[in-house]
Amino acid sequence: MTADKLRLGVNIDHVATIRNARGGDNPDPVRAAIMAEAAGADGITAHLREDRRHIVDADIDGLMAALTVPLNFEMAATDEMQAIALRHKPHAVCLVPEKREERTTEGGLDVAGNDTALAAYIAPLRDMGARVSMFIAADRVQVDACLRIGAPVIELHAGAYADAWAEGRWDDRDVELAKITHMTAYAHDLGLEVHVGHGLTYDCVGPVAALPQVAELNIGHFIIGEAIFQGLGPAIVQMRRCMDEARA
Ligand code: PXP
């Protein structure tokens, strides 16, 4: 069975990274989100990190006020972030592992090793009406754990696949794509909604977008980088085209 239209969530964290390099207000991630929406983004993703290295609290206020498409609020499973999510009531909450020393989100959440605590943690977020997703490796043990704790959505970490592609390690790329392919079908058969994200580019998005059960891709760093050369709207339109051509 095929998911409905493949959605594109645009992650605007790195607009805030550029702003924060200098301080001040420019460039404004909320303005980028509004432009992304106009260019065809089906949702906006923003990760409020504990260290506020890119998105800050005021950005979440601004996004909630300005967006007409859903906000996918990425966060670590901490009490502070749960309180912020409950206050803002975003459409979706994506739980990600977070380490202060990492440059970007490395690896997936260990849902299997923390299932009891995570089940209790997501209950109020679900009760509040958020679509809760878990950012996990393409690993059956983790998928099973997501089902067990009652998370309706998983997002599979595409980082290893994208890195292998970027570095020309074609055998590794094929292995990683096979993992994503199998776990997408497996999770979908269990009734979970499947998203994929991290590291996706025009080059490597196609094989993932082609998987019929994938409902959403979340893409940030590459699009924001391309925006320097093409402009944000055209970069989103081109990513959308890559996805649609692969899906067709
Ligand atoms: N999905 C999740 C859960 C993420 O944490 C991120 C950012 O790390 C992305 C998607 C987007 O990844 P990228 O910026 O590499 O496209």
pLDDT band at 102, cuts 50/70/90?
A: low
pLDDT tens for 180-190 read 999 999 999 99
188 is catalytic: no
Q: Residue 135 C-alpha to ligand 1 middle, in angstroms?
A: 9
Q: Specify the DSSP element, H or E, that contains 107.
A: none
Domain residue spans of the chain:
7-247
List all residues whose CB is within 6 A of at least one atom of ligand 1. 11, 47, 74, 94, 96, 104-105, 135, 155, 197-200, 218-222
Q: Specify the DSSP element, H or E, that contains 204.
A: none
Q: Which atom of ligand 1 is nearest to the CA of 219?
A: 16
pLDDT tens for 13-52 read 999 999 999 999 999 999 999 999 999 999 999 999 999 9
pLDDT of residue 200: 98
Q: Give the separation between CA 164 and CA 179, rounded to whole angstroms.
A: 13
216 is catalytic: no
182 is catalytic: no
pLDDT of residue 98: 82
What average pLDDT score do residues 112-116 get?
A: 95
What average pLDDT score do residues 81-89 get?
A: 97
What average pLDDT score do residues 66-86 get?
A: 97
Q: Which CATH number applies to 7-247: 3.40.50.2020, 3.10.250.10, 3.20.20.70, 3.40.50.300?
A: 3.20.20.70
CA dist 157 to 5, 68, 89, 104, 134, Å? 21, 27, 25, 12, 10
Q: Give the separation between CA 23 and CA 178, rounded to whole angstroms.
A: 43
pLDDT tens for 50-63 read 999 999 999 999 99
In sequence order, what are the residues at sequence separation of 6 or more whose Cβ sits closer than 8 angstroms to the Cβ of residue 131?
Answer: 91, 92, 93, 152, 153, 193
What DSSP letter does each residue of 20-86 carry, written as one string?
Answer: HHH-SS-S-HHHHHHHHHHTT-SEEEEE--TT-SS--HHHHHHHHHH-SSPEEEEE-S-HHHHHHHH
Q: Residue 212 C-alpha to ligand 1 middle, in angstroms?
A: 21
Q: Which atom of ligand 1 is nearest to the CA of 14?
A: 14
* Higher-pLDDT residue of 103, 229: 229
Q: Which of 193, 198, 216, 226 is catalytic?
A: 198
Q: Give the separation between CA 132 and CA 151, rounded to whole angstroms.
A: 6
Q: Give the separation between CA 199 and CA 220, rounded to whole angstroms.
A: 8
> Which of 146, 125, 119, 122 shows the shortest CA–CA distance to 135?
146
Using an 8 Å Cβ cutoff, are 163 and 199 in contact? yes
Q: Give the separation between CA 117 and CA 124, rounded to whole angstroms.
A: 13
What DSSP letter does each residue of 166-184 carry, written as one string?
Answer: HTT-HHHHHHHHHHHHHHH
What is the residue-averaged pLDDT of the chain? 95
Output the residue whose Cα is nearest ligand 1's atom 9. Answer: 198
Q: Which of 14, 37, 74, 195 is catalytic?
A: 74
